[in-house]
Amino acid sequence: MMGGSEKIMTKGQELHDQGKYRAASEILDKLVFAEPQNQAAKDLLADVYEQLGYQQENPGLRNAFLAGAYELRSGIPEGASPKTSGPDMIRAMTTDLFLDFLGIRMDGRKAEGMAFKINLVTPDNGEKYLIELSNSALTNIEGYQADDADLTITINRSDLEQVMMGAKSLQAQIEDGTAKVDGDVGVLEQLASTMVDFELGFEILPGTKGPSPETDLNDFEVGPVGAMSE
C-alpha cells in the first residue's frame, strides 16, 4: 500500500469498510502526520475515530476518539473557555491546592538559578505555609515557617481569594495595607516572572490548531481549568 497517499487512502477506506478500524487508524494516522493539509485523509481518519469512539464502553476513550474526529474535520473549537474561577469555586479551593497550582504554572526553565523561601500566614483561618523555590521547583509545606525566610506575607485568606479570582492583585493589596510584608518583596516579582498561561487550544492532531487565546490575568490568578484565559 506504500507509494503515495492515494494508495494509503485506498487501503484505509478498504479497512474502514471491513470494520478493521484499528488497522485503518494505524496507516491513516501516519499519513495525516506526514501531510497535515490533506483534508481527505483527515476526513477518512475522522470516520475511523468516530467508529472507534462509538464502540468504546469507557467514556474517557469514547470522548477522546470523538473529540479527535471533530478536530480533524472542523479544527479545534474556538470561543471562550469554561470560566471556573468563580467565588464559590475559589472559596472551596484549599490554600495548599492553590499553592500547588502555582507550582504547576511555574516554568522550571525560567526558574533556573532562583532560590528563596516565603512564609505565608493567613490569620483569619489560622493557616501557615512555607513556600520554597529551589532546584527549579516550587513546593509548599503546611504548618511550617522558616526562620531564614526571604519574605513573610500576612494576609487574610478572604483577601487572598481576591487575588485568586483576579479581582485584585497581590501588589495592590500590599500597597493599600491589606497584606503585610516583611523582607524582600522582590522575590514576588521573581516568582511572577516564572508563571506561564496554559493554552486550551493546543494541537493534538496535526493541522487542527486554531489561534492562541489572548490572556489578561494578574500574576497569581487562578484561571479557567485547562486554560488561563477566558
**Dihedral angle over CA of 143, 147, 153, 158, nearest 10:** 20
The contacts of residue 178 (CB under 8 Å, 6+ apart) are: 155, 156, 159
Largest CA distance in the chain: 72
Q: Which three-class secondary structure state does DSSP give residue 141? A: strand
| 220 or 25: which leads in pLDDT | 25
Q: What is the mean pLDDT of residues 84-101?
A: 83
Confidence of residue 77 (pLDDT cuts 50, 70, 90): confident
Question: Which domains does the chain show, CATH number per domain?
Answer: 5-74 (1.25.40.880), 87-193 (3.30.1050.10)
- The CA-based dihedral angle spanning residues 107, 180, 168, 219, taken in that order and rounded to the nearest 10 degrees: -10
Residue range 10-23: mean pLDDT, rounded: 96
Distance CA 15, CA 91 (A): 53
Phi and psi torsions of 130, nearest 5°: -105, 120
Q: What is the pLDDT of residues 164-190, one digit of tens each?
A: 888 888 999 999 999 999 999 999 999
Q: Looking at residue 82, what is its pLDDT?
A: 59
Nearest of 85, 89, 75, 116 to residue 217 by alpha carbon: 85
